[in-house]
Copies of this chain bind each other. A is one copy, B any other.
Amino acid sequence: MAENSVDFQGVLAEIQDEIDPFFGQGKNAGYIPALSDVPGDKFGMAVHTVEGEEFLIGDAQDDFSIQSISKLFTLMQVLGFDDIDIWSRVGREPSGTAFNSLVQLEYEKGIPRNPFINAGAIVVTDILASRSADASRRIGDYYRMLSGNLSNRVDEEVALSEQDHGYRNAALANLMRSFDNIQTPIPDLLDIYFRQCALTTSCADLAKAALPLACGGYSPIAQKQVLSTRDTKRINALLLTCGLYDAVGSFAYKVGLPAKSGVGGGIVAVLPNKFSVAVWSPELDSYGNSLVGSKALELFTTKTDLSIF
């Protein structure tokens, strides 16, 4: 099927029908009430083409918690500065198993493997925090600029809950600090980090915010170039090799698109020069990725025959 002739709305409708059997197989993130209490049968999906068309289905306009997908946008924000060498402080390689995250960080002298594992994302946030006394607001501003939706805001209840369960992230930050790879005072840094994870967004917003990755760095929403073409390609490469934790290989194998997931149940993906796509359904598989969302994206690339491979 050539992309020109794809009936995206029809494909979304088919997917909504076909994913029905997959509800109830996963489980909401359970560590904070604000995530565990979301109805498990929520499902939304949004496609935004580089030509400007938008296709929505289901709960595509409902808000949910962005969680780890925020790591993609803070990385974009940092790469948008010309004068920062982020790659001396964070690597670009897959991390292997979650099991090894702490030992790798130790073995590799406090340099996280990539910006999408927690340790790496904390370094990225540390870079933003070092540049601005008001990093938390600026992170929100950047996302709102990309989504074009001023109502994307921090859910304070989620942010507080994160803090109550953030000991593991505090362990990572302290370990990196012992290797001089963190500069911001750790309680301040974690506060900013937990707040970025507590942003709320919808599939419709998320697809818009990710559009620059399909448009060579240009944001049709903000109507400006937010990344160089070169950095855009590189972020897409990083997403493909590191964007889905321990399921990165399976996801590339089944879906074949650069993507980033969050434990709020969202996943955003792009096909360069074609479209961005966001999906949301809160029940997670054993890797912490939306189970129904992953299946929906697999159906999407199978039905449209559109993937990078």
Q: Which residues of A contact B (CB under 8 A)?
A: 91-97, 99-100, 102-104, 106-107, 113-114, 165, 167-168, 170-172, 174-175, 177-178, 186, 232-234, 236-238, 240-242, 246-250, 252-254, 256, 258, 272, 307-309
Contacts and interface: CB of A to CB of B under 8 A. Distances in A.
A94 B178 contact: no
Contacts of A165: 178
Contact of A250 (B92, B96, B249): B92
A94 B165 CA distance: 29
Contacts of A100: 96, 100, 103
Contact of A252 (B107, B168, B240, B254): B240
Contact of A95 (B96, B114, B172): B96
A242 B236 contact: no
- A-B complex: 7 closest residue pairs judged by Cβ atoms: A96-B96, A94-B94, A167-B178, A171-B174, A103-B103, A93-B249, A237-B252
Most B CB atoms within 10 A — which of A104, A258, A308? A308
B253 A92 contact: yes
Nearest to A177: B167
Given A168-B174, A171-B175, A250 B93 contact: yes
A61 B166 CA distance: 46
Most B CB atoms within 10 A — which of A107, A253, A256? A253
Contacts of A104: 96-97
A249 B96 contact: no
5 contacts: A93-B249, A94-B249, A102-B106, A236-B309, A258-B309
